[in-house]
Each structure stands twice: as C-alpha cells, then as structure tokens.
Amino acid sequence: MKKLIVLGVVTVVAVLLAVYGRDGLDLYRLMGHIETSSEAKQTDGGPWPRLSDACIGCHGAQGHSQHQGYPTLAGQPASYLAAQLKRFASGERANPNMGPLAMSLSEAEIEQLSEYFAKQSATENRSFKPDPALREKGEKLAANGGCAACHGEGLLGHDQFPRLAGQGHDYLLAQLDAFAQGRRQDPTGAMAAISASLSEGDRQALAHYLAALPPVVK
C-alpha cells in the first residue's frame, strides 16, 4: 500500500513538472501546506473563525497567558471554566471585558470553550521570578491552609476548583484581595474566609508561591 502511495505522489510530481514546470511543483507544495494547516486548525479549536480566537488577546494562544495580570486558561478544569463564564454572564462575577463577552455566548459555546482550554497542557509560569523568601513563606501558608484539600494534588485543580499552580502572580493576588474584601464570592464560601484571615503580606507571599509552582504532579 505504501509503495502505491509513493508511486502516486511521484507520478503527480512528474506530471506537474512536465506540464507546468517548477511553478506546478510549487503549487503542489502549497496545496500540501494548506491541507496540513487546515488539519492542524481543525485539531486546535476548529476552522477559522474560531471561537477561541476572541480569547487570545488577553489569555494568550491556547490559553497560555503571557501577562501576569491575565489568567492562564490552559489546563483549567472544564467545569470550573464553564461555571466562571456563566457567572460573568449573569453579573455574579464582575469584569468589564468578560461580562459582555460571556453574555454573547450560548450554552453550547461555553461548553466548547471550556472543553477546549481544559485539553491544553498546563505549563510553567516562566516569566515570573519569585522572591525566594516570599515563596518559602507562601509554601508554608499553602500547606497550613490546606489548599490541596480543595484544589487537588499539586494544586492542579479539579471539578469546580481551579488550577492555582503556575497561574499569573498579579491575577492570583488580585483574586485573593477580592475574596478578602468581599468583592468576589465562591460557592463554598471558603475562599472569602481563608483570604480574610490572611494579612496583605501573607496574600502576597501565597501569590508568589503559587505563581512559581510548576503545574505537575510529583
């Protein structure tokens, strides 16, 4: 079978060279490139225009944010992402950008986006350089606070609980502050109580540790 395929390709190339010269061969290569690219696009969120394209500006390609203030979506639990989009849409969670965008999405589109980003591999937050002392302090706070009880092994998240490991530092700190000040709520109410019990310095240390934590199961 492989010999027949190779023979067919050689025949096509020979005909193109004979009839159209080098331009024909270039056209054949272009067609192959387009076909390969199309297959890749189908795998990576579907054909253009892709629903996920609207997220790239803030959250990065495939949900890998390059900005500490915008959350990384890659590797987040699908159920968590879907729940947050619905909260943005309802106004339960306020954000001037996410609110209007979430309101424009159908139930099916919310599920599609959530599943897409959940399938992307989580990567380290390499652009953040933590303060060693704050990181060490944050590690102790995370252990004493029992973060893994909700956010899972390695703080990778599951179900309705987000992945914290490798998330953007500024985003993490902003959310901890929002929970502490009552500007954001979670269904369990645990985050408000935990964050409120932390000092401003504690929240900064915890954000340093979580942002620098590699998102891998040990």
pTM listed for this prediction: 0.78
The CA distance from 169 to 208, in Å, is 6
The CA distance from 215 to 169, in Å, is 14
The residue among 86, 73, 5, 112 whose CA lies nearest residue 215 is: 73
50-60+74-121, superfamily in CATH? Cytochrome c-like domain (1.10.760.10)
Same fold across 50-60+74-121 and 124-218: yes
- For domain 124-218, give the fold: Cytochrome Bc1 Complex; Chain D, domain 2 (1.10.760)
The residue among 217, 214, 74, 218 whose CA lies nearest residue 135 is: 214
pLDDT tens profile 149-182: 999 999 999 999 999 999 999 999 999 999 999 9
Residue 143 predicted with pLDDT over 60: yes
> 107-142: b or e for each residue (b if 16 or more CB lie within 10 Å)?
eeebbbbbebbbebebbebeebebeeebbebbbebb
User: Coil, strand, or helix at residue 213?
Assistant: coil
Query: In the structure, what pLDDT confidence band is assigned to residue 123 with cuts at 50, 70 and 90?
Result: very high
The angle at the Cα of 144, spanning 138 to 148, to the nearest 5 degrees, equals: 85
Provide the 8-state DSSP code for 215. S
Q: Where are the beta strands (DSSP E) in the chain?
A: none
Residue 86 predicted with pLDDT over 70: yes
Domain limits of the chain? 2-39, 50-60+74-121, 124-218
pLDDT tens profile 21-73: 655 445 444 444 444 444 445 445 566 568 899 999 999 999 999 999 999 99
The number of CA neighbours under 13 Å toward the Cβ of 210 is 31
